[in-house]
Amino acid sequence: MKRALIILVMSFTAAGSASPAEKHQCDNCHVFSDKSPGVVLKAPLSALCVGCHSGRTLSGEHIVDVVPSMKIDELPLSNGKMTCVTCHDPHEKSGYPKFLRVKPTDLCLKCHHFK
């Protein structure tokens, strides 16, 4: 189990492309209208991510759009569900690869505790 975790963490460190936020292409994901104040997404959150990152739904990837079976305090949920943005922040560059919210070696342990 720990070996699989190490392999997963290593896969996060591969170089990725620039995010829409880096390219300032907000309209890739957001709808801007005088009729709808606030932030409006073009599609459900995970569908937006998979629209560009279709390979992220393959076997071996983390599942999304599920209610976590453990308590998660430090990472955001969307309507109580884990989504792509639970681990990744498309708006800010944290300095970690793949726009991860926390250091790759710590990310999985935010939810999964091994004894």
User: What is the residue extent of each domain of the chain?
Assistant: 2-110
Rg (CA), the chain: 15
The two tokens of residue 106 are 């710590």
**Is residue 104 helix, strand or coil?**
helix
Q: Report the first-to-last Cα separation within the chain, whole angstroms.
A: 11
Instruction: Supply 82's token pair.
Output: 């884990």
pLDDT at 22: 55
**Residue pLDDT, tens place only, 67-108:** 998 888 889 999 999 999 999 998 877 789 888 999 998 998
- pTM comes to 0.71
| Sequence-ordered list of residues with C-beta below 8 angstroms from that of 5, at least 6 positions apart, any chain | 108, 112, 114
Lowest-pLDDT range, 13-22, 28-37, 41-50, 91-100?
13-22
